[in-house]
Amino acid sequence: MSTKKTRPGETAASPPESGASQPQTLAIADRLHSAAIHLLRRVRRQDVATGEGPARLSALSVLVFAGPKTLGELAAAEQVKPPTMSRIVAGLKRSELVTITADPHDARVMHIRATAKGTRLLHKGRELRIAYLASHLQTLAPQELTRLGDAVEILRKVLESWR
């Protein structure tokens, strides 16, 4: 049961409307959206060092950070159809990054789990991304870095309430 507080006219499933219609809020949302896309594209360049493609790394990330999933759960988390996820998981299995086991109660259900090798690879990729980003953040003045840290904390709080 959700304990999210809502404003009049707002449901827990809908975004708040009061700030969304203000031009300043829309402008900031637009700039944040653009910056987030560009940031992700730039740090994703480090993923080449892992030897795995973006779809596989993304699925592996779900398994490492959220735990074992069924094929359907993983497909839903990655917003792809099960046949697409089947191909992604098959590639991860060939690379020995995941294990697949049948459900003891329903042989049609497969449980997918990251292997130790998959977990190490994902953490190494994350370290590369963070180091690359940090190397660029070092160009900021100390007060800019502090402001950025504050902004990240605000964004984290917004994301927490987004569930």
Q: Is the per-residue pLDDT at 29 higher than 50?
A: yes
CATH number reported for the structural domain that contains residue 94 in this entry: 1.10.10.10
d(CA 163, CA 161): 6
Number of domains observed in the structure of the chain:
1
Instruction: Note whether residue 4 is domain-resident.
Output: no
Instruction: Note whether residue 37 is domain-resident.
Output: yes
Residue-number span of the structural domain to which 50 is assigned: 23-160
Whole-model pTM: value is: 0.75
Instruction: Note whether residue 49 is domain-resident.
Output: yes
Instruction: Note whether residue 15 is domain-resident.
Output: no
d(CA 152, CA 137): 13
135 exposure class (CB count in 10 Å sphere: 0-12, 13-18, 19+): exposed
Instruction: Note whether residue 85 is domain-resident.
Output: yes
Query: In this predicted model, what pLDDT tens digit does every residue of 85-107 receive, in sequence order?
Result: 999 999 999 999 999 999 889 88
Query: In this predicted model, what pLDDT tens digit does every residue of 57-75 receive, in sequence order?
Result: 999 999 999 999 999 999 9
Query: In this predicted model, what pLDDT tens digit does every residue of 107-146 receive, in sequence order?
Result: 888 899 999 999 999 999 999 999 999 999 999 999 999 9
d(CA 56, CA 154): 30
pLDDT at 57: 94
